[in-house]
Amino acid sequence: MKVGFYQFNPLFGRKHVNLEKVTEATREAQMDLLVLPELFATGYQFTSKAEALNLSEPVPEGETTQAMVRLSREQNIHIVAGLAEQDGERLYNSAVITGPNGFIGVYRKTHLFFEEKLWFEPGDSGFRVFDTSVGRIGIMICFDWVFPESMRTLTLMGAEIICHPANLVLPWCPSAMPIRSLENRVFAVTANRIGSECRTADQCLTFIGTSQITAPDGSILARAPEQEEALITVDVDLAMAANKRLNPYNHLLEDRRPEFYKC
Ligand code: ACM
């Protein structure tokens, strides 16, 4: 199975430009599963709830989800893409999954970061694993990585590969993800963005790029540069993630002792 990410610099508020850029970039790409960054069509740094509301869309009827459905059909691929979701007056920082047969589902970000708390509701979907024709796909969004419970929960739910749309600004995630993959024996695809947004006088956010694909043995299968656009794919064998046995005596999940854990 071929998995990949597209790291680029979304332009704030220019949905059609960003959707067109993704469509063009992926037109020739041969892969089974593509991961796009968090909020890839709208940009990240909202300055008011009204602005966030204006750029958010219902799922799955909204134009961004429908564009992903079309792209999935045309390219015969599964796509996980971050977007701003509107549900009545409530907004969520969400990610949709689409496949060759259409819309599959949505995940709403559990752990909001920084000023996201001003515009978005904390996600209420809970972590979700989607059993697809290409594998068992779990989703988390950006800052969710900080909480080991996110990937452990997805692993306990049966995820083989974790798709991780991101807009990372802190530097630690690229070093942490190989360990997150190792401690759960799963693949992970972090699709981050590049560029900066300076939408208020006193605050610029610079995104760190460094999107990557990590394997159940903790290896880094691919890593993008910090500030260059990159469409990278690798071959993965999901059977590696299905095997949680470390040796004849140890099993990663069966050896857990939850009665001694505080969580
Ligand atoms: C983040 O959660 N966008 C850092």
Tens of pLDDT, residue by residue over 57-87, are: 999 999 999 999 999 999 999 999 999 999 9
Which of 21, 85, 116, 142 is catalytic? The answer is 142
Q: How is the beta sheet containing 187-191 ordered, strand by strand?
A: 128-132, 135-139, 161-165, 187-191, 212-214, 220-223
Cα(165) to centroid(ligand 1), Å: 9
Tens of pLDDT, residue by residue over 144-153, are: 999 999 999 9
Which of 87, 86, 98, 91 is CA-nearest to residue 36? 98
Query: Where along the chain do its domains lie?
Result: 2-260
- Identity of residue 232: I
Clarify whether 163 is annotated catalytic.
Answer: no
Question: pLDDT band at residue 107, thresholds of 50, 70 and 90?
Answer: very high
Cα(208) to centroid(ligand 1), Å: 11
Domain 2-260 CATH (choose: 2.60.120.260, 3.60.110.10, 3.40.50.300, 3.60.15.10): 3.60.110.10
Is 0.85 surpassed by the pTM of this model? yes
Closest ligand 1 atom, residue 113 Cα: 2
Which of 150, 204, 206 is CA-nearest to residue 176? 150
Question: pLDDT band at residue 29, thresholds of 50, 70 and 90?
Answer: confident
